[in-house]
Amino acid sequence: MLKIIAIVTLFLDKPYHYEPLGEGEDGIYSTLPLYRFDQFDCVTFVDTVLAKYYSHDDASFKHILIKIRYRDGKIDYTRRTDWFIDLEWNPTMHKLGYLHDVTHHIANTETATTFINKPEFFSKKTAANIVIPGLSEKEIQKKCEALRAEGKRFQATQSTLSYIPLSTLLHHKNALNHFPHAAVVELVRPNWRPVNPLDTTQDYGTNLNVAHLGFAVRTPLGIMFYHASSTQKKVVCVPLIDYLKSFEHDTRLAPVAGIHVEEIKG
């Protein structure tokens, strides 16, 4: 797993920026670049690292990143997989052969369940979500209306996700003994409702099960967690157990319940 460590280390201290990627210069709703290495949010950090891990040159990196980020590898704002980790991103990664669910191999699990309401998710998009320089206010509003209309063709879908309870991880000494050498760790907050990060006057439009994700890697210092942190505003590294302890007394309406673990294959 020296390769994955080398890659994540490249991006340590890079600044956090929510949704730094778009569909490139031909994007209908966002012309932000298809990829970049100067800033990340939690999902684009994971996407980028995995694309670099499985690629062998610049061309294959771009090709793999597109396959990861878009359903069936078709570049389209409404086909992004990484808004809905358990419903779309995980199955995409399994289909590509990049990740393998090992959650139940580590410890006893519980199940998070929610309905991913994609029509309502798109209906909550506002001018802040349209990222195309030079558009007038009227043109931006037309883009919003078109995006909301596109969202109506989707359906709300139930999604379930297995997770290891936080109490198991923190209070059973051997809980992490079966942890893989390198994995994507997903922080599970069952059935939670975030706000729209780009327009906090609106909620996200749907409930979710996954609140955050990053890489857990076995090192001589123990299992370290590498992630793009919205609180620290950069890519950081911290012992996984210390990170999990920070949620032990979570008093939010939908507290962190545990983690889902996807082993990196190859």
CA distances from 105 to 175, 244, 251 (A): 10, 19, 29
* Average pLDDT of the residues in 225-244: 97
pLDDT at 2: 81
Q: Which is nearest to 243 in space by CA: 262, 224, 260, 261?
A: 224
pLDDT at 145: 97
CB-based burial label for 252 (10 Å; 0-12, 13-18, 19+): exposed
Q: In whole angstroms, what is the distance from residue 191 CA to residue 204 CA?
A: 12
Q: Which is nearest to 263 in space by CA: 39, 98, 99, 110?
A: 99
* Average pLDDT of the residues in 86-98: 98
Contact 160, 113 (CB under 8 A): yes
pLDDT at 85: 98
Given the structure tokens 């979710």, which residue do they identify?
208
pLDDT greater than 90 at residue 202: no
99-132 pLDDT, tens digit each: 999 999 999 999 999 999 999 999 999 999 999 9
pLDDT band at 214 (very low <50, low <70, confident <90, very high): very high
pLDDT at 186: 98
pLDDT band at 1 (very low <50, low <70, confident <90, very high): low
pLDDT at 199: 86
Partnered with residue 227 across adjacent β-strands are 236
Q: Compare 93 and 253 and report the one with higher pLDDT.
A: 93
pLDDT greater than 90 at residue 65: yes
Taking the chain, what is the end-to-end CA distance rounded to the nearest angstrom?
9
Superfamily for the 2-264 domain: putative xylanase like domain (2.30.260.10)
27-62 pLDDT, tens digit each: 999 999 999 999 999 999 999 999 999 999 999 999
β-pairing, 99-101 with 222-229? unpaired
Note if the pTM is more than 0.85.
yes
Q: Which is nearest to 162 in space by CA: 99, 217, 108?
A: 108
Q: In whole angstroms, what is the distance from residue 114 CA to residue 162 CA?
A: 12
94-108 pLDDT, tens digit each: 999 999 999 999 999
The domain ranges of the chain are 2-264
161-191 pLDDT, tens digit each: 999 999 999 998 788 999 999 999 999 999 9
Q: Average the pLDDT over each of 35-44, 114-123, 142-151, 248-257 and give the range with the smallest value.
A: 248-257
215 membership: H or E segment, kind and range: strand 208-219
